[in-house]
Amino acid sequence: MDSGLTLIELLIALVLSSILIAALYRTFISQHKTFTVQEQVVDMQQNARATLFRMVREIRMSGFGRVAGEYVPGVGYVSRILPVQFTGTKGETITYRNILNRDTPAPGWLTIITAVNSVKHTAELLGVSSRFQIVVDKVDEVKEHALSYGQDEQNKRYYISIDGVECNQATITEDNTGSTKQYLLDLEHPLQYHYKPGARVSPIAAVSFQLGEREETGAGQQPIAENIERVSFGYFDGHGNTTLDDKAVRMVRVVITARAKKPNPLVQDREDYLRREIASNIQIRNLALVP
């Protein structure tokens, strides 16, 4: 005679199955939370590293284009354009006295002065009329690229770097005498070197970093990355000692604290975020070889 399951046996089977399913579900939830945490950690670290990489690249180029000028033993750098004045986003005039300016234009900011070295933002030298005038192929009057980046709107001065080896102040005049539009740059200081047509003429820009965004003269404020909770700067001289003198800075230490996008799912009793801190020491290469 065939015998079936009794009610007691069926109930026992259901209870054991429920326990097994609950254990599997609990394991799945735990593994899913762990996977979510690891995914957040990877995103956070990549975000922080990308942010730091960009800051390192740009801060390292502080003073590019010989913005700091010529180094005179016993005197220091003698610059043709420093201090520079730029018009801020609110129409105010901001003065930057060094190639690296801490707490400028506001506390917690770091502003560097550098030549913009990209094809989009540079002009081509067409010729040299005299030691006080050069001719270039373009300037951007709508401020999207080219020489307008180095403009002091209030005083109508443009700060430029020629071929990356000398800086100057210039006023710009459009030349319509020929069939091709070109621009005359009248220089405040005489040229120091000889240049051939094709040399690059770059605008000088003030690039500022602060928590939450980056600002460039003529380009406005731009976020570098999201979920950066803290950015701090340390300043050191050529001997590795901390310094309060912007002119003496030879290395900048940047410390970034990044935060995960969402709260940590492994913490239930409170809202807690995963955080990672990364740092880098940035040698100011345009000043590093000078004692």
Domain extent listing, the chain: 8-60+226-291, 61-224
pLDDT digit string (tens) for 31-51? 777 777 677 777 777 888 888
Q: How far is Cα 212 from Cα 227, in angstroms, rounded to an integer?
A: 8
Q: How far is Cα 246 from Cα 242, in angstroms, rounded to an integer?
A: 11
Q: How far is Cα 248 from Cα 238, in angstroms, rounded to an integer?
A: 8
Q: Which pair of tokens denotes residue 81?
A: 């354009």
Length of the chain: 291
Residue type, 165: V
Query: What pLDDT does 145 receive?
Result: 41
Q: How far is Cα 282 from Cα 103, in angstroms, rounded to an integer?
A: 18
Q: What is the band of 142 on the pLDDT scale with cuts at 50, 70, 90?
A: very low
pTM for this predicted structure = 0.77
Q: Please answer whether residues 151 and 160 qualify as being in contact, where contact means their C-beta atoms are separated by less than 8 angstroms.
A: no
Q: Please answer whether residues 161 and 67 qualify as being in contact, where contact means their C-beta atoms are separated by less than 8 angstroms.
A: yes
pLDDT digit string (tens) for 48-81? 888 888 888 889 989 999 998 887 788 777 889 9
Q: Calculate mean pLDDT across residues 171-189.
A: 84
Q: Please answer whether residues 170 and 185 qualify as being in contact, where contact means their C-beta atoms are separated by less than 8 angstroms.
A: yes
Q: How far is Cα 280 from Cα 55, in angstroms, rounded to an integer?
A: 10
